[in-house]
Structures are given as structure tokens and as C-alpha cells.
Structure 1
Amino acid sequence: MQTLIAVIIIFGLIVAIHEWGHLYFAKKMGILCREFAIGFGPKLYSKKKNETLYTIRLFPIGGFVRMAGEDPETVQIKPGYEIGLTFNDQDKVKEIIVNNKAKHPEAKVVSVERIDLEHQLKIDAYGDEEEGLQTYEIDPKADLIVDEERNQIAPWDRQFGSKKPWQKAVAIFAGPFMNFVLAIVLFIGYGFIDGVPVPEVGQVAETSPAEEVGLQNGDTILALDGQEMSDWREVQEYIQNSPDEAIAFSIERDSSVETISITPTAVYHEPWDRDIGQIGIIPERDHGVLLVIQNSFIQTYEVVELIFDVLSLIFTGEFSIDMLAGPVGIYDVTGDVVALGYEMLFLWAGMLSVNIGIVNLLPIPALDGGRLVFIGIEAIRGKPLDPNKEGMAHFVGFALLMLLVLMVTWNDITRLFL
């Protein structure tokens, strides 16, 4: 149960932040956002605030922001069709009622001659015989009510397609960008809880190479083999890359500097498939604000670098589906992380957030990266691609992604349970 709760909270947070990035920056670009959804499928909860409907849906496997212009905007109201109109204080149309006009006795019924809900925002229609043809101005935030379902109209300047390529790119890139921001915040949280390792000895293991040569708690490691060490990562990497090789440790102890030779023990590391050096020390941890913030950016960069290292294996032929984890694999790992302590969830959630940010930026149709590619092509051509062709590309990309998810999930199940 703890694992399930942790997974729901982590993915809910990552998805919500990602979609909020799309929502916030799309609105800043002047795009009407009809819906902000967490999950897919039937609605479990919905609440409308201002112009946007906020929903939580049954299947917690993602989310979306529905921007005006991405779907057909209106029903086709043809000449001769009777509709109901209500007006605001400025005598502009605030509601256009299609069907069920009897439920709106206050509405004025007219017969449409011409209607433009995107550009001119006007209706030419016949009312009473005495009035003849009348022109009615439409409020830019008027509602179109079809079979009692209410939707705000979207003038062309509020639609996604009307925006310049750079504005579209900002709205699309904002989702993955917020995943990186979230990761940095989570790494900062982890740093404040657990501290940042520094090149100072915090604990020496018994019968270890470090204890045998007299390394002590509080010793500060200044250099290894004459190379200055500025942080713990450099110290750790140097030691791991020197199994069974003597290293000259320049250390500061009680305001004096001395040199100690230590030979790291060779220990086989299965993930790397090689021996690594270990001397048996645990570093001291610092909770300084500036150090924690700086380290959060470094951790984010390291996760990005690791992901690209894995992706590069695709081009060398060394990539395997076993390197990927689907929902089942992530659930299993999350259970292991929970067992290590809740503070580790900050670290794990940050790594997942970076992963989702990077994956979404891959130039694959249906992902944000694929959409950015099409926006880039639009910027070069000076006009957008055929919406039908782009839509088909995204559909095919989505189908292939779902197939990959199924394959990875099945691989997770066979690896863990069969």
C-alpha cells in the first residue's frame, strides 16, 4: 500500500507539473485552454475556473491540456438554422443556443443567414418579420451551448494555430521544462534532508584500507596523486577507477597537511561489469544552502547525461529493451526506494521527472519533441504543414509508443514474476 501511495503521489506530481507548464505558458501566449486533465478516461472530478475546466480522470497514466484550435472548434451552423441568443449589458451575444431552445425562454430565436465565430464575430440573422435582417455582435467570450453542453467560443486569435511558431514552441516546450524545474526542486529537498557529500571523512569502516593506514574522521581530502579534489564526486570517481593501485592522499588534519598512501580494494561492480576501487570511508555531508542548490543543478545534469549515454547505445547496437522500465518496473523500484527511507523518494522522483522531461523532448510524433519538430518545419517553410498529415503522423507515433509501452511492461512482468 505504501508503494502504491508513493507511485500515485510521484506520478501525480510529475504529470501535474508537466501539464501546468503547458497550461501556464499557453495562457501567457494568449491561447484559450479548454481543459487541464490529470489522467485519461471517464471524469472522476471536474471544476471550471475562469476559462478552463480542471478534471481528474479514471486512468492515472498521464494527462493533457486541451488548447483551442487543436480540435474542430464549432458545430456547423448553416444558413436557415434557428438558434437562440442571449445578450450581455453591452448588447453583445453572450450565449448561442443550438437545440433545446425551449429550455431557454429568455433567448431570442433567430434564423441564421451568416455566422462567423472566429474572425468577424458577427451573426447576420432574421428575427421578427418586422425587424428584417439584423447583425448581432458576438462577445469574444461568448458560450456556444449545444444540447445543453456549454463551450466558450474561440476567436482565431485565441487558437493555437493562430500563434507564431515561437509562441507555439514556448507553449509546447514548457511542459518538459517544468519537469526539469521540478527535478531541481526535489533534489534541493533531498539535499536539505540528507546533505551534500563533501571531500571530508565522516566515517571509516573497520578493517578497511582507510583504517589500516590511519585515516580519521574529520580528515579533509585535498588532493589525490597531486590532483586537487574540489568535491566528493571527483574523489569517488578517482578511487573507483584505481582498484589495487596505490593512491597518494593529501589530507588536512588539525590545520596541518600530510600525505598518506592507500591502495583501494578491488570489488566487482555488476552494473558496470568491472572491478572498482573502494577504501571504506563514508563522506561527511554538508547542508549549506548554496551548496545544496548548486548540487541540485549538478544532479540534474548528471541524470540527463546518463539518459543520453543510454540512448546513444541505440546507434552502437548495444541497446536492449531490458534497459527500459515500464509501469510495473517503476512500481517495483519505487517499493525498494520506499524501504530505504522516504527522503530517498525526493531523489527518485527527481530522477523520474528528468526522465519524463527528456523522453517528451525526443523528436517522435505524439510527443512534445515531435510537435516541436513540426513547429520548426513551419518556421522554415513560413506556413504550417497540412493538419491532416500532421495529425496522422502523431496518431502513428502514439500507436507505436503504446506498442513499446506494452512490450516494456510485458518484459517487466516476465523479469519480476516469471
Structure 2
Amino acid sequence: MLVNILAPIFVFAVIVLIHEGGHFLMAKLTGMKVEEFAVGFGPKLGGIKRGETLYSLRAIPLGGFNRIAGMDSSDKNDDPRAFVNRPVWARLLVIAAGSVFNVLLAFFIFVFAFLYAGYQTFPDLPVVGGVLSGTSAEKQGIEKGDTILTVAGQKVDTWTDIGKITKTLDTRIVPVTVSHEGEEKTLTIMMTDGDNGRPLIGISPYLEHHDV
């Protein structure tokens, strides 16, 4: 789909633009002369000049760039505000600012995602949070929200108990008793192999969601 192509391009453009924004702000703060701050690359579509800086819009919307006076080592620039004539500490700050801004962007995205989505905890209850598609558990009718009461005739009090029981069994065909909407039923489940080779019923645990 088109969105699958455009989305990564948009994300890349934002990352580059934030990166260049870091260079721009630090150059301004350290007294350097920024001749142009461009959004995008390629032919210039237009721009507006504020003070000594031209803010331009380019034809290819992939990030942006700064044109700082004296940043090209081949430039012969006697302007004391040119990059090459500023103190070493100021030049280092300008160079590092782009990466710092990208780190800050990642941090704020993480914080926003955490605050928006909340977090989950594992209460270790014998409650089904999901059923693996195509497994015997799904075919036999185990559903999300069911409570596992027994596995192979052994009482289950926690989700951890399920793993302990299945690990000791020498058969892949297991009777599982569940409570579904208050009704108990015993199902015969053919266990499947997990990634580590251990037998699994084909269900995942219930996780509690917490808002921040």
C-alpha cells in the first residue's frame, strides 16, 4: 500500500529535520551566522528572510539542511561569527546538537507512548488472555476470559502452575477443565510444541492494563 511507502519516508524526513533543527538552534545560541535553514532538498520553491537567515522550502520533502557561514572548510571567511572563527567549544556544541536533538526526540516519543498506552502487569492468574490460532485449544473452544481450573486432573491456582504441570507430562493429549461464563467444562487438548521444544496448550495469560 502507498501508506507503507510514505510512512517510513515521512518518519525519516522528521528525524532529519529535527537533527538539522538542533544544529540550527545551537548555532544561533552560540552566536554563529546561519545564512539559511531549509526544509527539504533540491530546487527552492520559496522562502522568507527573517533577519540574516533565509527560511526556505525545497522541492524534495526529505528532511532539511543548514547553511552556516564558514562551515565549509574551503570558505575564506573573516566574519567573527562564521563557524570556522568561533571557539572550539562552540563548534563542538553545534556539531553535537543534531544527535542530541534526535535522542531527545526518541525520549519524548517513548514518554508519550508510555503515557498514552499505559502499561501491563502479569497478575499470575489462571485466566486466558488469548488463544493461539490454529491450535487444539482454539478448536476445542477455549476462549479469552476463560479460567483454567485443572490440567491433567491437577488443580490450577496460578498461571505458573499450568507450565509446571505440562512440563512433567509424558503425553501430548491433556484434559483441561475450564470455567466459561460460570459453566465448567472439560476439554481434551492436543498440546503443541513451543519455540523451546516445551509442550504448550496454546493459550496466553491474562495481563492487567494500567493507565498512567
TM-score (ref. length: structure 1):
0.33
Paired with 2:128 and 2:107, the residues of 1 have a C-alpha distance of 28
3-state DSSP of counterpart to 1:24: helix
Alpha-carbon contact 1:12-1:38 (below 8 Å) kept: no
Paired with 1:205 and 1:54, the residues of 2 have a C-alpha distance of 53
Which one is further off, 7-16 or 48-57?
A: 7-16
CA-to-partner distance for each residue in 1:185-231, whole Å, 9 max, x for gaps? 122222233222223369623548x95467xxxx999xx89xxxxxx
3-state DSSP of counterpart to 2:207: strand
Could you say which residue in structure 2 is the equivalent of 1:46? 47
Paired with 1:220 and 1:10, the residues of 2 have a C-alpha distance of 43
Instruction: Look up the equivalent residue of 2:194 and give its one-letter code.
Output: V
Counterparts in 2 of 1:13 and 1:73: CA distance versus 1, 3 Å: same
Alpha-carbon contact 1:37-1:63 (below 8 Å) kept: yes
3-state DSSP of counterpart to 1:200: coil
Could you say which residue in structure 2 is the equivalent of 1:186? 109
3-state DSSP of counterpart to 2:64: strand
Could you say which residue in structure 1 is the equivalent of 2:204? 280
Counterparts in 2 of 1:287 and 1:41: CA distance versus 1, 3 Å: same
Instruction: Look up the equivalent residue of 1:185 and give its one-letter code.
Output: F
Supply the RMSD in Å over aligned alpha carbons. 3.8
Matches within 5 A, 1:1-400: 1-3=2-4, 6-71=7-72, 118=78, 155=79, 157-200=80-123, 204-206=129-131, 207=137, 212=148, 266-268=193-195, 280-288=204-212
TM-score (ref. length: structure 2):
0.60
Paired with 1:285 and 1:275, the residues of 2 have a C-alpha distance of 30
CA-to-partner distance for each residue in 1:298-337, whole Å, 9 max, x for gaps? xxxxxxxxxxxxxxxxxxxxxxxxxxxxxxxxxxxxxxxx
3-state DSSP of counterpart to 1:43: strand
CA-to-partner distance for each residue in 1:260-295, whole Å, 9 max, x for gaps? xxxx97533xxxxx669886125223221xxxxxxx
Paired with 2:87 and 2:149, the residues of 1 have a C-alpha distance of 66
Q: Could you tell me how far 1:25 is from its partner in structure 2?
A: 0.8
Counterparts in 2 of 1:275 and 1:35: CA distance versus 1, 3 Å: farther
Paired with 2:46 and 2:67, the residues of 1 have a C-alpha distance of 17
Counterparts in 2 of 1:265 and 1:167: CA distance versus 1, 3 Å: farther
Q: Could you tell me how far 1:12 is from its partner in structure 2?
A: 3.1
Paired with 2:158 and 2:83, the residues of 1 have a C-alpha distance of 57
Alpha-carbon contact 2:37-2:65 (below 8 Å) kept: yes
Q: Could you tell me how far 1:27 is from its partner in structure 2?
A: 1.2
Q: Could you tell me how far 1:175 is from its partner in structure 2?
A: 0.6
Instruction: Look up the equivalent residue of 2:15 and give its one-letter code.
Output: I
Gapped regions of structure 2 (runs ≥ 5): 132-136, 151-156, 169-190
Gapped regions of structure 1 (runs ≥ 5): 75-116, 119-154, 226-238, 247-263, 269-273, 289-418
Q: Could you tell me how far 1:40 is from its partner in structure 2?
A: 1.8
Instruction: Look up the equivalent residue of 2:211 and give its one-letter code.
Output: H
* Percent of aligned positions that are identical: 32
Higher fraction of strand: 2
Counterparts in 2 of 1:282 and 1:187: CA distance versus 1, 3 Å: farther
Alpha-carbon contact 2:128-2:147 (below 8 Å) kept: no
* Number of positions where the alignment pairs a residue of Structure 1 with one of Structure 2: 164
